[in-house]
Amino acid sequence: MNSSLIFSFASTFALLGWIYLAVAGRWTPSIFKWVRVGVPLVLSIGYATALVLALPTMEGGFGSIEQVRLLFQNDWALTAGWIHYLAFDFFVGCWIVSRAKKEGVQHWLVVPTLIATFMVGPIGYLMFLGIRKTKDSLN
């Protein structure tokens, strides 16, 4: 098995999920239920696979920046780390879409937060929190 192949598959698969959230997430609630579970599930399986393949040759740890740098010199550990980001950012994106729908936030206001969450995770989350605070004046 090739870490580059798993990395590419996970990235493409996550991107397709994000496109769905931005384009159709509000309009197809029955599919959204499958996507919000299915995408993180598949990514989690990829994460577990990459982590298991990294373990035999992994060095480093999480105790210092030097240890983390050493840890991510392993391509499988790097792939696992990337998929970790993809899975959790997507989970947050699904939460944003769900909360926006429940709270009546217009989807056109949500799309920029989804793009930001995909690209720079926590900043998209912060954007959405700001929109929630000011949604009544924006609608």
pLDDT of residue 83: 97
- Say yes or no to pLDDT of 136 above 90: no
Per the CB < 8 A criterion, the answer to whether 24 and 31 are in contact is: yes
- For the chain, which residues make up each domain, given as ranges? 3-138
pLDDT digits (tens, 9 = 90+) for 42-100: 999 999 999 999 999 989 999 999 999 999 999 999 999 999 999 999 999 999 999 99
Quote the CA–CA distance of 126 and 41 in Å, as a whole number. Answer: 25
104: left (phi over 0), alpha (psi -120 to 50) or beta: left
Burial of residue 1 (number of CB atoms within 10 Å: 0-12, 13-18, 19+) = exposed
Quote the CA–CA distance of 7 and 75 in Å, as a whole number. Answer: 10
